[in-house]
Chains A and B, each alone.
Chain A
Amino acid sequence: MSQNTDLLTLRSVSKSYGTVPVLHDIDLSIRDGEFLTVLGPSGSGKTTVLRLIGGLEPLTAGEIRLDGQDISRMPINKRPFNTVFQDYALFPHMTVSGNVGYGLSVRHIKRKEIARRVAEALELVQLGRFAERFPAQLSGGQRQRVALARALICQPRLILLDEPLAALDLELRRQMQEFLKSIQREIKTTFLFVTHDQEEAIGMADRICVMQAGHIRQLGTPHELYYKPNCEFVARFFGENNLVAGKLGPVQGEQRPIETALGRLVCSISDQPHLKTAPDGASAFAAFRPEALRLADANDGDNRFSGTIADLAFAGSSTVATIMAGADNAAQRLRLRMPSRIDGSILKSGETVSLSFAPHEGHLVLA
C-alpha cells in the first residue's frame, strides 16, 4: 500500500442537476491508503463528489478512473467501494449482525464464513456484545460503528464517509475521530471523508481537499493549508486568520512586501511561485495567524504597527485579544492569541500597544 500510487482519479468531472451546475470541471487524485478529507461549506459540492465516486449519481461530464480503468459507467453494486451514510442507513428490520453481514450474504458467501467475518468486523469496532440487537436499540455512536463495520467487511478499495460524525455530540465526535483514524491505520484502506467541520478535517486527514461553490480551491496537507493557503477563501475558511488588504510591492528573494493600511508588511513567499510572478501593484492580502501576532519588542524592524485592544476573551488555555489597528486605530480588526497565565493577562482592554509578526510567519494570498 504505497501512498504514492493513485487509486482513483477524477478527470474534468462535472455534475449538474437539471440546469443547475453543482460541480465544475473537478480534477482529483486519491492516493492508495491515504485518509483524504473533502472539506467545504454546505452547497460546496463535497457530498456530490462522494456520491459520484460511489456511483449513487451519474456524471454529467468527465471520467472516474480506478487503477487507470474508466469506471464512470460501472453500476454502484459492482464498484469496490462502500459508503458510511450520514444517517447510517442501517436496515431497521435486521440485527446488527444481519446488517454487517448483508454485503457478504448478497454475494452468496457461505453462512459459516459470513458468521466468522461478521464476528471479526464487530470485534474490530468493539461491538461484539451487540450482535443480536436491532439498530433502534443502539446509541448514536454504536450505530455509527455498525455502519462502519458493514462498510469495511466487504474489504473495499475505498471507504466513503459522508459526514458520519455530524449527528454525534462533541465528546463522542472526538472519540470517534480517533477511533476512525486508528481503524484506518489498522486495515490500511483508503478513506474519503466528507465534512464541513475544519477541526475534524485537521485532526484526521493526511490530505485535505477544500471545496467551494463546486470548485476545488486547494488540495494539500493540513499544515500546507493552514500556513500556505492559496486563496482568500481557504485563508478565511480554514482556521482563524488575520487578513489585511493591500497592493503587492517588488519581490525581494523569498519575501515580498505589501502596502497596507497598517503600513508596509513583509511576508514570506517561499514555495508559492504564483506569488513571485504576480505583477507589482496587484491586489492581495497579508495573512497571519492570531498566534503569530505578538507585542513588538525593540528588535523588531519589519511589520511593526500600533493597535488598540478592544476586547479580551479568556478561552481556557489561550486568551484572545480583539485589536483595532490601521487609521485612527479603528480601520482594521485583528485577533491576537496568546497562552493564558494564572496571574492574568499582560494586556489591558483600551490600551494602545505596538504589535508585530515575523516575516516568515506571514503569507500572501491574491485577492
Chain B
Amino acid sequence: MKYSIFPISLLLLLCSLATLPAEAASARGSKKKKNEVTAPSPKPLSDYEKLFSGKKCTSREGLLTLHDVEGKLFVEMPLSLMDRDVMIGSTISAVTDNRIVSVGEKPKAPMVVTFCLDGKKVNMCRKRFDLLARGDEFERSLVRNTLLGIISSFDIKAYSPDSTAVVLDMTDMFLGNNIAELNPMPASNPASNTQINTQFKRDLSLLGDIKAFEDNVSVRSRLSFTVTMRDNAKRSVIMADSPFTVEVTRSIVLLPEKPVMPRLADPRIGVFFTKKSVFGDSSEGVKSVFYAQRWRLEPSDSAAYAAGEVVEPVKPIVFYIDDTFPEFWKPYVAEGVERWNEAFEKIGFRNAVRALPYPSDDESFDPDNIKYNCVRYSPSEVANSMGPSWTDPRTGEIISASVYIYHNIVKLLSSWLFIQTAPADPSVRTVNIPREILGEGIAYVVAHEVGHCLGLMHNMAGSSSIPVDSLRSASFTAKYGTTYSIMDYARFNYVARESDKGVRLMPPSIGEYDFYAIDWLYRPVAGASTPEEETPVLRRFISERSGNPVYRYGKQQVVAKIDPSSFEEDLGDDPVKSALYGIENLKYIAANIDSWVGGEDPDYSFRLRMKNELVTQYQRYVTRALYNIGGIYLNERFEGDERESYAPVSGADQRRTVNFLLEQTKSLDWIDRMAGAGWPLTSPVAPTMGTALFKTIVQRCGSLWYCTPLMGEDAYGQKDFLKDISTFVWKPSREGKRLSEIEMELQSQFISYLMTNSYTPANTPQQMPPQKRFADESEVWGFGQFAGMQGALPATRHICFSFLQDSLNLLKRFAQSSSDADSRAHYRMLAARIEQHLK
C-alpha cells in the first residue's frame, strides 16, 4: 500500500476550513492590530483547537471520530460510549512474507474492552466475562472482586467543542506493541513447525488509512519488525534479523447493547462453547456453564415462522468472497458457503447463509474490518484451510467469522482425489485433476470451514456408523454420501472399487448429523425466555436420538486415542474391512500409475509424490485399525440415553484386527514394486515399514489391560494377544520354511519385546497417592479433552516370561530341525540371547 501525501493534504485543507475559522479570523485580525491600538486581544485557542491548529490533519467521523494529525492518531470518543463493551480485533492487510502471517488472517482473538472516564483520563479496561453471579449479594461481591483491569490509560487532551466527546491520543496503542492481543506477530507457526522471534521497530512504523462508520471504525497501521525464524525440525535458521513489515487493520466494533439470549451447550453434540463460572447458585460451589457459540438468527416474521412457514432471518449470515480468488474457484467457494442453507431451511430459515462477492459500490466495505465475514484467499504454500470465529464473550454470540483458504489446499485435494478415488473414478487418473472435480473438493473444504464458522466442532465419529459395504452402494452414497457429518475428517471414498458404478466419492453436501446439529443449535425454542427454560427441550431433542448412531458425536482425540471410531481420515464402521478395501485400491494404483500418468509425468515428479502419498495413505489405514486393539468406544451419556457411556471393541474384532495387521507386516513388497523400470532410484520401504508396524502392534499389549476387564465372555486378553503374535512369528519356522529377512526380523523383534517386558532390575515399587486414578473425570467426559490414562501396571511380566521360555524351547528345536543354514544360525543367535537374559 502506498501512503500518498495528497489525500492528507486535501483533508488537511478541509479540516482547516472546518475547524479553524476562528484561527483564520484571528490571523486576519492580527494584521489589523498593527495599525489599530485599541483592537480587542485575539480569542485564545481552545484545547481542542490547539490539537489541530496549523497541522496537517485527516479526519473521519463515525462511531468514533478519528484524526490523523501528522502521523499521530487522535480519537474523539463520545462520552455516550463510556462503559460500553467494545470489541477490538486485528486483521492482516498486507505482509512482507506470508510464511509468518497471511493476508486476511486475524492473528489473535479480538479483545473486548470498556473505556472508562476517570477524571482527566480515560482508561481502557479489561472486564472479566467468565464469571457470573446469581443473586444481588453474590453480584455485589463479584463486582468488588472483579475491578476492571486497566490495559492502557489515555490523558484527555481536550473535550470536543460541544463537550459530548473527549479527545485521546491513541497513537501508541496503534503504533506500539505493548498489548498482547494487538500484536500481529505469532511466536511460532505450528503448521510449518517454526519458531519466530520478533523485535518491534517503532521508528519504522507509521499510521495508515483511518476509516469511520456509524457502527465501527478501523485504523490501519504499518508495523515494522526484525524477524528471526527457525525451523524447529531441521534446527536451521530460515531468516535471521530480516526486516519485516506488516500492515494490520484494527477494527473497533461496538458489541450489541442488548445481549442475545445464550443457549446452554450440551457435551453430547459438537458445538464450540464459551465457559462461565457461576457463583452463588448453591452450596455445591462454583458451577461451570457453557454457552453454545452461535449467530443471532431471528425470523424476520415471527408469526409466520411460528405457523411453520419458511422465512428469511432478520439478519442473514453473509460471507464475502475474496476477489483475489482464482476465477474458477469462486463459484465453488460460494457453493460451499451456501450449502448450509439446506440445513437452515429445514428449521424454517430461508437464505440464512449468503455468499456475496466483494461489493464494488460500497465504500464502507473493507474485508479487513472485523465487521465483515469473509472467505479469504492466501497465495501461500500452506496446504490448509481454517474457519475461526469471534464471539461476544458475554453470550457466545458469534460476531464475526472468517474462512482462510491457503492456495495449496488444491495440492492436498489433488493428492486425496488421486490416491483415494482413482481406482473408482477414471477421470482423476491424471496429473491434472479435472477442474469440476477439484472444484467440488474446494466446495467441500469451504463447507467444512463454514461449519466451524457456524459454531460446529469436528465430529470425528461422523463416518463411523456407516457400514463399510454401504460405501460401495450407489443408492446409499447418493443419499448419505460418505459420512453423516461434513464436520468429520472423512475424506473421499477410498472404499469404492472400480466396479462400483455410480457410487458417490465425496462427502455429502451436508450430512444427517449436520442437519441435526444445526437444528439443535439454531432452532428457536418457542416460549422459552431463559437458557434454563430452553434446556429441557434441547436435552430431550438429543436424548430422543441417542439410540441412533447417525447422530453420534465423537470428540477429536487430540492427546490420547482410545476410541477407534472417533478418528480422522477414516471411513465406515469397520476399520479392518475399510482398510482391506483401501489397500486393494492402493495396490491397484501402484500397478497402474505408470499407464495412467506416464505421458503427463516425464520427470516422474508426480509419481514420486504419489508414492509418498500412497505410503501415507496406507499408514492411515493400518493406524486406524491398530486402535481397535484395546479400543473402547466412548459416548457422552445423559441419564436415560439409550447408548451406553462406553463399550469395548469385541474380542473377536480385536483378534481379527491383530491377525490382519500381522499379515500386513509381511505383505508390503507391492509398495516397492510400484517404482518400476525407468523410475528414479528410490529406497525400499517395505522392510522398514513392516518392522515398524510390527513394533507398533506389539506395543498395543499394554492398552489391552484397560479394555479386557470391560469385556464379557469373549474377552481378548494380553495372553491371547501374545499367543496370536507368537503363532504368527513362528509359523514359517514350524512349517520348516527358509526364513525371509523380514521373518527373521519379526522373530527378533518379538524376542526383544518379551525380554524387555519380562524382567525389570530390582527397584522399589513406585509410590503413588492411593487415589491416583487412570483418568481425571474432567478429561474423560463433559466438555474437556480426553487426555489419557495412567495407573497401575498390569501383571504381564510373567506372561512375557512364559512366552520367552516357550520361545527358547522352540528355537532350540528349530535350530536342530531347520534345513536352512541361515535360519539355523538365526535360531541359535536368538536362543543365545534368551539364555543370556535368563541367566
Q: Do A and B bind each other?
A: no
Interface residues of chain B, those whose CB is within 8 Å of chain A, are none
